[in-house]
Amino acid sequence: MFFNASSVCDVGTMCSNMNVTNQVNAKTSNVLDNFNYCKSYVKLETDAFIVAATMKHFGMKSLEDPVDQFIPASVLQGTRSSRRLWLHEQVKAVLKKYVMDDQEQFHQSLRDELIEMNRPKVYHCSVCGKEYRYEKARDNHEAREHSVNTSLVEDARNFSNTAESPPEEQSPQAEQKTDDRYNYATARLNFGMIVFNFDDAVKEGDGERILRCWKFMMLIFRAYKHTKYAFAALQLFFFTTCLLSERLSHLLKWNRTVNNKGGKGHNISLDLRLEHLNHLLKEMLKCLGVNVTQKSAQRCSEALSALEEILRSMDSELGVAHPSGHHVSAKDDKDFLLLVKEIHERGDMFNYTPDRSYQKLSNFNGNILGELDFSQLNKWISTHKKEFCRSKLQHLVMHLKSKFLFSSLTALQNFLVHMT
């Protein structure tokens, strides 16, 4: 979506910024083998976009500008509470302008169109006005009860629909020229804030917010043809809303993180915790050398929890300090300043200027969900919803059959058809 290996000349794009900061490890086609480098760079670049957007909001030319040029003296000399309120107002203004711009209208149109698509269609008789659910039933009623020539009536309806819907004219907004740099910057900032929100939800162990992030990510996966990830997100919603019991649904929602350090904001995902345990187990097996057998490996895995607790206790008594896991180096600070200068000064990406276009990422859509097809999304969700429902009912019927609540296979089939 944001990376194109040939967009080196497009100022402010991810590939161009990687060349500016010489991020050779993150500039790779195989993200899975270089995940930590890619994740660190995405975080660093997102921070730079946030700072560049804030500098544009306050009219700053560089990071060396004195604070009294854009912060009122009453705020600087005010209480801590008043300074915090002023900061929240400014953050809200930045988000409203660069992140939430047109998002409310887009999501409202998405909800309205999905509701309209799922509303049952009704066909009215042209004579008596009686309602029918199926068009063929309406036509049969008109021919049988009113002796209406259905072919002539259908032609008249088609002509009426054509007359009521005049040819679409291109709106002035469609003719308006866009700014690829501004669209790229707002979309990149929007996506970066979603990733930050997801990471913060995991750190806080907030199951509700994690599911909300998954909902938005499902739309992004669907818009950019990552069908397996989109299906995994949809499956998660089915499990938490209808397929699982209330107890299991609660566990799936809130038992997704673990805190090994204690305190607020120190949670990690269960997948990462499992990777840590796998790393410790591999170290144990490595120490066995040629003595590794299936029995010894099983014994090591069973003693893994106790061994980890012993190592933690010994390190605590000996005063061994462990790294926090967050690595900040002087090179990161230099790269951050280079990125801010590239985005804010050279690219001026948050200043909307028509006719600015990219060579490789031309006509860039500023809405990260702009490629989403509402009708296909509705059809995809409805199809899988019916499949999950049918699968759930089949399991239920088989359970009831095992309890001898149905006396014949015909009754089972009738029950299944009735429920679906």
Q: How many Cα atoms sit within 13 Å of 224 on the Cβ side?
A: 12
Looking at residues 138-167, what average pLDDT do you find?
64
pLDDT of amino acid 136: 79
Q: What are the φ/ψ torsions at residue 132 (nearest 5 degrees)?
A: -135, 145
pLDDT of amino acid 402: 58
Query: Which of these, 377, 371, 368, lies nearest to 100 by C-alpha position?
Result: 368
Cα–Cα dist 25/31, whole Å: 10
Q: Which helix (DSSP H) or strand (DSSP E) does residue 161 occupy?
A: helix 150-164
What is the per-residue pLDDT across 249-307, written as a single tens digit (0 to 9) for each?
999 999 999 998 888 889 999 999 999 899 999 999 998 888 889 999 999 999 988 98
Q: Name the 3-class secondary structure at 264.
A: coil
Residue 378 lies in a domain: yes
Task: Provide Rg for the chain, Cα atoms.
Answer: 30
pLDDT of amino acid 282: 92
How far is C-alpha 288 from the geometric centre of its chain's CA atoms? 43
Residue 402 lies in a domain: yes
Residue 386 lies in a domain: yes
Task: Convert 94-126 to b/e letters by CB count within 10 Å (16 or more is b).
Answer: bbeebbeeeeeeeeeebeeebeeeeeeeebebe
**Does residue 396 register a pLDDT over 70?**
no
Q: Name the 3-class secondary structure at 124.
A: strand
Residue 400 lies in a domain: yes
The whole-chain average pLDDT of the chain stands at 83
**Does residue 182 register a pLDDT over 90?**
yes
Residue 179 lies in a domain: no
Residue 412 lies in a domain: yes
Residue 276 lies in a domain: no
Structural domain total, the chain: 1
What is the per-residue pLDDT across 237-255, written as a single tens digit (0 to 9) for each?
988 988 888 998 999 999 9
Percent of all residues in the chain with a pLDDT value above 70, rounded to a whole number: 84
What is the per-residue pLDDT across 302-356, written as a single tens digit (0 to 9) for each?
998 898 889 888 888 888 877 666 655 666 889 999 999 999 999 999 999 998 9
pLDDT of amino acid 374: 83
pLDDT of amino acid 397: 58
Which pTM was predicted?
A: 0.78
Query: Which of these, 117, 40, 92, lies nearest to 329 by C-alpha position?
Result: 40
pLDDT of amino acid 390: 78
Cα separation values, 156 from 123, 126, 150, 188, 230, Å: 15, 11, 10, 50, 43
Query: Could you tell me the pLDDT band of residue 171, with boundaries at 50, 70 and 90?
Result: very low
Looking at residues 66-84, what average pLDDT do you find?
91
Residue 184 lies in a domain: no
Query: Which of these, 377, 376, 352, 378, lies nearest to 366 by C-alpha position?
Result: 352
Structural domain boundaries enclosing 400: 374-419
**Does residue 393 register a pLDDT over 70?**
no
Looking at residues 101-122, what average pLDDT do you find?
74
Q: Name the 3-class secondary structure at 269.
A: strand
pLDDT of amino acid 261: 83
pLDDT of amino acid 174: 42
What is the per-residue pLDDT across 117-127, written as a single tens digit (0 to 9) for each?
777 777 788 77
